[in-house]
Amino acid sequence: MRALLVVNPAATTTSARTRDVLIHALASEMKLEAVTTEYRGHARDLGRRAADSDDIDLVVALGGDGTVNEVVNGLLHRGPDLDRLPRLAVVPGGSTNVFARALGLPNDAVEATGAILDALANRSERTVGLGLAAGTPGTEDEAVPERWFTFCAGYGFDAGVIGRVEQQREHGKRSTHALYVRQVIRQFLNEPHRRQGTITLEVPGQEPVTDLVLSIICNTAPWTYLGNRPLYTSPQASFDKALGFLGLKRLSTAAVTRYATQLLTSSPEKGLHGKHAVSLDDLTDFTLHSKAPLPFQMDGDHLGLRTSVTFTGVRRALRVIV
């Protein structure tokens, strides 16, 4: 087996020594080429190279969710092809590692590497469904290129929080859960649309849902983790289905307190609910429009402001070693 290992040297939870150990462990079982990323988008370029190659059977992403997202977008730059494309394996090296943990992998790079080697020996793999977001035809964002996400996308409030976190990290702050909590509070205090949302959800064949402040789209559950605690916004979302959707129409102080409590006590059986919550499951195609430009994020990566985004849930998009 020929494999390409994509290594993010800035991965927050793996040291250089640990990465060397992992590389040697993988190289003992396969013909391995290890490449360290050198710039933003490098992992995507390496995934694209693997997709266009005739002799790479497996791509291993060693890094956080951002690295995985780039590799997946490279692999799928021509669209899904289960028979032709290399399989994907993920060694978690970031601060949260939602995709790897949603697959059931240990949240430890060494243990996850052992699990991947066992899965390869047993020929254990699965196909996963992913989300695809693109600019909406006929809008000012129609030229925005398509991009895949591996576990979630957010439009509005939560994307604003991601943007604030990224700004703090650019100023040298470490990505910690405390940092996220502080930015949630700041985003809430500065959110201009928290009492009257600007987002409209359009699903073919259904009445539009208007005045949403926040929209979270998931292709798996949980949505994210707070330490070791999983948080569920769309508990029914699954790698075997299309997309789950959660929208909130109000973020008053009382509403935020209620939803925060629901989120912290959420489970695979119960997510966020209430008269101002809109929850839909297994959506294949839908569009979000906003009266004002709003922040947009995918897999924890802030992508700027958008006025419209079209989503597609793609079942059986990629083969993953688990």
CB atoms within 10 A of CB 252: 13
From residue 43, alpha-carbon distances to 54, 61, 72, 162, 265 in Å are 19, 8, 9, 21, 36
pTM of the full predicted structure?
0.93
Residues 6+ apart with CB under 8 A from 171: none
Q: What are phi and psi of 230, to 5 degrees?
A: -75, 140
What residues does 316 pair with on adjacent strands? none
pLDDT (tens digit, 0 to 9) for every residue of the chain, 322 residues total?
999 999 999 888 888 899 999 999 999 999 999 999 999 999 999 999 999 999 999 999 999 999 999 999 999 999 999 999 999 999 999 888 999 999 999 999 999 999 999 999 999 999 999 999 999 999 999 999 999 999 999 999 889 888 888 788 777 787 677 777 788 788 887 877 777 899 999 999 999 999 999 999 999 999 999 888 999 999 999 999 999 999 999 888 888 899 999 999 999 999 999 999 999 999 999 999 999 999 999 999 999 999 999 999 999 999 999 9
> What is the greatest pairwise CA distance in the chain?
58
Distance CA 119, CA 134 (A): 34
The pLDDT value given to residue 98: 96
